[in-house]
Chain A
Amino acid sequence: MKLWALVVKDIKLSAKSNYTYIVLVFVIVFVVVAVFFVPDEFTNDPEVFVHAGTEGLLSGKIEKALDVDEVVFYGSRDEVISNMKKDRTSIGVDITTENGKMVIEFITQGYESERLKKILEAHVMGWAALETGYEPNSYVTVLESNNPDIPANKGMLPVFLVMESAFMGFFMIAAYVFQDKEEGTIKAYAVTPAKIWQYLLSKVLVFVLFGWVSGLLATIIIMGPGIRYLQFMLLLTSASIFGSMLGLIAAGLFTSFTKAMNVIFVVAFVLGITVIPYYMPSFSPVYIRILPTYPLLFAFREVLFPTGNTVLVYTNVLGYLAASAVLFYIANKLFEKKLV
């Protein structure tokens, strides 16, 4: 009952500080952007500018040879280069003939990696071999045949669920703790028979509730009723608890609110880096894979767009709960020593 009374007190405090409305505003803005502004299909392939002096072998097949949806043709190599200078993500191609050979010159900006160039070379040469009747000496085995096609706008939802709904407590909990400290609530609390862990848990529960409101609202509007809400709630709840526990540690380590917030901003930024491999899955170095938001993004994707890999979801749930228990123990010790 004491715990629940503390939770109710914090919810009232949130309403007074307009935080409840801000949670709703975030959901509304995200849903509006996802539904009305982001298309279902989104490609960020680079523009390819082509001068085809001699098309020959590639006649009418340039797009396929280069594995892009479309290319833009120009009348000369100079025109290609001048347009590349206006778009620094573009790539140029100049096709000519030299001593009876077709010469395909890839004109890059200069920052592209050697690996990318090697892939382009292997890709075009392999394509030419296939076109001239060579049989590939390979076959493809697909391990998961029921992979859903994820629309770009719905694919943003896991990012929102991780960075806003699940990690809301990480961002905000320090403000609640320092608020109590300023108002002397913690000191008053210390002279009551209640335990410090109840106080900390009440803060965590507030953000689990806010996480539910934010995550459920956005998911119901964007995905409708057809997803596995039990798995969804388990994952959201365990991740919210973990995010809030991390926030409690940050709050417990610093004596100043501003200093704690600085650390939280920087850590939030670092955790946000995992969005890059989420959208660019061929870039997944170990130092990013060990960040807690990395598996969470893919676990939410699995819940929203299932491929049958439920192990991923439950491993995350158990992992976050176990890690939360450890963090809670540390937070309890920190607050016993520092804040009271």
Chain B
Amino acid sequence: MSLIQSSMGRKLIMGVCGGVWALFVFGHMAGNMLILVGAEAYNKYAHAIVTNKPLLYGTEVALLSTLVFHVIFGVVLTLKNKSAREQKYAMTPNGEKRTSLASRTMIYHGTIILFFIVYHLITFKYGKETFVTYDGVQMRDLHSLVVEVFQQPAYVMGYVVCLMLLGWHLSHGVSSLFQTMGLNHPKHTPCIKMLGKVYAVVVTLGFISQPLYVIMTSF
């Protein structure tokens, strides 16, 4: 119990929960790449997920709870961190002593991403339901919804911005999780840091490629 009472324990929990989400977004991105294959593959994949109730509910519970912990501890820690410096500096570290902007602004892109997640769920999970039938099985035609949404340029622009923010969040978050867990070694850390950035780029590009594909193929 006391781990949760200490800032360091809370940070660990926040980090691990973020890690769960980092894994999830990769899987989510990879699965959705089926949109490049076609409507049938995409819809069948979605159908397979929603019909596997234990998997679905298990994932939903895991994601919701980790998100709650990630957000709550993120906010609690940030408030404590902000209170540790009551008077601001006129200037902040720069030149060789400057740190990455991403690492200093996690709470801000994190907040935007949270709102994005809610909006995203409303748009797709709880969005318009139409149905198609493949091989005699009726299922939700998510593909047509996605294509419809992704044909709105304003939406896509917002979507791309949010995904880039997610990537930015991950670019610090993924490798930072290793540091938080106590895994730092001069032999491995440079590699972990690089892989963290690669991971963020892959996730972001993967997601962004989907609306771009939709837009380009719809003309």
Same assembly: no
Chain A residues with CB under 8 Å of chain B are: none
